[in-house]
Amino acid sequence: MTGLSRLWTMFALACVAGTSLSGCGPLVLGTAGGAAVVASQERGFSGFVSDTEIRARINSLWLQHSIDLTNRIGLTVDQGRVLLTGRAADAQMRLDAVRLAWQADGVKEVINEIQIDNGSSIVDTARDTWISTQIRSRITFDANIHSQNYSIDTVDGVVYLMGVASSQEELNNVLQHARSVPNVQRVVSYVRLLSNLQG
């Protein structure tokens, strides 16, 4: 299997198994377009392959443990850092999601932002999806932002941002867009500056 074939296989597994589709967005354009987007990301082509493999491994562990866990918990991976969001049915599910994520090879950090389900309705879920979509649209059409370098997760009106910013100014623009969307309660940023990674 060629390197590109291996990439697409891992990508497909990750997207099919996962519940959060934010990490699947950049490759929807097709093989040629998708590869170009991946190559333009700050973490590079090899970094994407590694993160996709980590995502697939975690999803596999979750599926073996509980299908309900995969339906409830959101998963984002960036340079080996894993962000977990969503609503767990109970404290034990929250613990299991974190424990299993740490078991996947290549994981460097697990950021646990999972909340215990407090009876949120389908309206709440729809609102969170709308918020994420609005933020994604705003940063995509902002010429000063490399939108493909960011992932967005929203849970109960709290927005979680992850990725790599090319500059503090770009990050400030992203944060401003996120905070300006109606119904956003607060914005939590796990975005890192490219200059810090290079140093």
The answer to whether 170 touches 150, Cβ cutoff 8 Å, is no
Please give the pLDDT value at position 43.
59
Contacts of 158 by beta carbon, 8 Å cutoff, 6+ apart: 113, 184, 185, 186, 187, 188
> Residue 197: in which H helix or E strand, if any?
helix 194-198
Give the domains, in start order, of the chain with CATH numbers.
Answer: 3-116 (no CATH), 122-198 (3.30.1340.30)
- Among 42, 89, 21, 7, which residue's Cα sits nearest to residue 192? 42
Contacts of 125 by beta carbon, 8 Å cutoff, 6+ apart: none
pLDDT band at 20 (very low <50, low <70, confident <90, very high): very low
Please give the pLDDT value at position 97.
94
Angstrom distances, CA of residue 79 to CA of 82, 121, 184: 8, 33, 27
> What pTM, to 2 d.p., does this model score?
0.63
Rounded Cα–Cα distance for residues 124 and 2 (Å): 43
Rounded Cα–Cα distance for residues 111 and 45 (Å): 23
Please give the pLDDT value at position 177.
98
| 3-class DSSP state of 71 | helix
Please give the pLDDT value at position 156.
87
Average pLDDT over residues 33-42: 42
pLDDT band at 12 (very low <50, low <70, confident <90, very high): very low
pLDDT band at 199 (very low <50, low <70, confident <90, very high): low
Written as six digits, the tokens of 57 are: 């491994």
* Pairing of the two strands 186-193 and 158-165: parallel
